[in-house]
Amino acid sequence: MRVLVVGGGPAGLYFAGLLKRSNPSHEVTILERNPPGATYGFGVVFPEAALGYLGDADGPSHARIVQALETWRDLTIVHRDRAVTIDGNGFSGIARLELLRLLAAFCEEAGVVVRHGAEARAEDLEGYDLVVGADGINSMVRELGAATFWPRIETLTNWFIWYGTRRVFDTLTLTFRANNDGHFVAHHYRYTPEMSTFIVECDAETYDAAGFAGMSEVDSQAYCQRVFAGDLGDNTLTSNNSTWRQFPVTSVENWIDGNRVLIGDALRSVHFSIGSGTRLALEDAIALWRALVEFPNDVGDALRAFEAARRPVVEKLLNAAAGSYGWYENIAEHMRLGPFDLAYDYMTRSGRVDEARLRNIAPRFMDDYDRSRLAG
Ligand SMILES: Cc1cc2nc3c(=O)[nH]c(=O)nc-3n(C[C@H](O)[C@H](O)[C@H](O)COP(=O)(O)OP(=O)(O)OC[C@H]3O[C@@H](n4cnc5c(N)ncnc54)[C@H](O)[C@@H]3O)c2cc1C
């Protein structure tokens, strides 16, 4: 079978490597527009429980990824200078560049042809038995097949910017800060022993009041450093083409267009606040590969099996993500709460966790929360 994968991000690389390794007679090519080693952003975070599935799909690549992970148990919420610890979570972080490097090595060992610096055009997609659109949130494969895929894109009103810093944080942390312009939250966590991701988010009113639209990259960075000066210590923020963006919530009505299928962010975007975009991209890759192994002689049956297996899981997570980003869109309102009430409100935001469940998974936090309520 001749397979073209458009996009060499986590979804495309992992799918291509799994397919070629399981059946070396397949001809598998990836077109990736960027040169090797180029990426945006810094680290990504996974919920801890999400990593086991990689071990089931391929032991050796899973072992290499696990070695590169930073892990921690608790989540910390900082509000009004008070740090609230929420136990029972469990997360892992990894440099995005390192994850891509490990997955690219997996592809190379398996014999996948990866063409870097190759921007896919419409005519490049012809002549294959299967075309996989793993080309991210602005997918050209999705746009070419828009009449069949029926994409829906809703842009959130909040603004965010993705920085790094040399300040190393003990846990995944959300830090809330206010100034005369408005309300900010930083999502930050370490992804190597020396570096942390530091995503700054604010609502639209704050973005306008601060004047970020007319600010240079350097001035935006300096402004954010001032807002989070107490949290960064002596460290600065590091930019990597960091620009203010609004998150596009993207999904498609139909997953398949003839012999073309979408995976990862091309199929749907998951808001970064639930830390699951990369995880879902890798799970899509595994599910598509498994469907092709199950139906080796019929691409159509394989694609339908992929969709049947994945759609319910994805839709459940998208509902949770909607609860989560909706919460951030009202950050000014939540910041009126005290630190423990805000933390409780945050933990129950997606509707997946109620009080009873929270008592079960985060008993230490709930004891602290109860005490804070009694203290008034
Ligand atoms: C601020 C922010 C923070 C995030 N934090 C996290 C996090 O903590 N945890 C997490 O799991 N996820 C996080 N994510 C999401 C995560 O980055 C994505 O979900 C994940 O990268 C999706 O993988 P993918 O392979 O589908 O797409 P991508 O990683 O976007 O890869 C797509 C690839 O396709 C290439 N491409 C695009 N068009 C073409 C073309 N025409 N021709 C050739 N190549 C093309 C691109 O260059 C790119 O390499 C975050 C995202 C953002 C924006």
CATH code of the domain in which 260 resides: 3.50.50.60
Q: Give backbone dihedrals phi and psi of 334, rounded to 5 degrees, phi first.
A: -65, -30
Residue 271 pLDDT exceeds 90? no
In terms of residue numbers, what domain contains 370? Answer: 331-374
Q: Judge whether 103 and 14 are in contact, CB under 8 Å.
A: yes
**What local confidence, expressed as pLDDT, does residue 296 receive?**
94
Q: Which pair of tokens denotes residue 121?
A: 């055009």
- Ligand 1 near 140 CB (within 6 A): yes
- Ligand 1 near 64 CB (within 6 A): no
Percent over 70 (pLDDT), the chain: 99
Q: Is residue 86 included in any domain, yes or no?
A: no
Q: Judge whether 369 and 343 are in contact, CB under 8 Å.
A: yes
CA of 271 to the centre of ligand 1 (A): 12
Asked if residue 150 and residue 172 are part of one domain, the reply reads: no
How confident is the model over 9-37, as a mean pLDDT? 96
Asked if residue 223 and residue 142 are part of one domain, the reply reads: no
Q: Grade residue 240 by pLDDT with cuts at 50, 70 and 90.
A: confident
Q: Which pair of tokens denotes residue 335?
A: 């910041």
Q: Please count the structural domains in the chain.
A: 3
Q: What is the pLDDT of residues 339-360, one digit of tens each?
A: 999 999 999 987 788 999 999 9
Q: Is residue 256 included in any domain, yes or no?
A: yes
Asked if residue 287 and residue 305 are part of one domain, the reply reads: yes
- Ligand 1 near 133 CB (within 6 A): no
- Ligand 1 near 317 CB (within 6 A): no
**What local confidence, expressed as pLDDT, does residue 51 receive?**
76
Q: Which of 296, 311, 328 is the last residue of a domain?
A: 328
Q: Is residue 76 included in any domain, yes or no?
A: no
Asked if residue 64 and residue 119 are part of one domain, the reply reads: yes
Q: Ligand 1 pocket: which of 40, 173, 265, 267 to mutate (most atoms <8 Å of CB)?
A: 265
- Ligand 1 near 339 CB (within 6 A): no
Q: Which of 211, 238, 265 is the last residue of a domain?
A: 238
DSSP summary character for residue 36 = T
- Ligand 1 near 277 CB (within 6 A): yes
Residue 263 pLDDT exceeds 90? yes
Q: Ligand 1 pocket: which of 48, 98, 272 to mutate (most atoms <8 Å of CB)?
A: 272
Please state the pTM of the whole predicted model. 0.93
Asked if residue 208 and residue 137 are part of one domain, the reply reads: no
How confident is the model over 26-55, as a mean pLDDT? 85
- Ligand 1 near 272 CB (within 6 A): yes
Q: Which pair of tokens denotes residue 206?
A: 């704050």
**What local confidence, expressed as pLDDT, does residue 40 receive?**
67
Q: Which pair of tokens denotes residue 155?
A: 């842009």
Q: Judge whether 69 and 158 are in contact, CB under 8 Å.
A: no
Asked if residue 97 and residue 18 are part of one domain, the reply reads: yes
Asked if residue 151 and residue 114 are part of one domain, the reply reads: yes
Asked if residue 13 and residue 151 are part of one domain, the reply reads: yes
- Ligand 1 near 175 CB (within 6 A): no
Residue 192: CATH number of its domain: 3.30.9.20
- Ligand 1 near 135 CB (within 6 A): yes
Q: What is the pLDDT of residues 199-232, one digit of tens each?
A: 999 999 999 999 999 999 999 999 999 999 999 9
Asked if residue 260 and residue 350 are part of one domain, the reply reads: no
> Given the CA of residue 118, which atom of ligand 1 is nearest to it?
43
Q: Is residue 285 included in any domain, yes or no?
A: yes
Q: Which pair of tokens denotes residue 363?
A: 């008993």
**What local confidence, expressed as pLDDT, does residue 37 receive?**
79
**What local confidence, expressed as pLDDT, does residue 288 receive?**
98
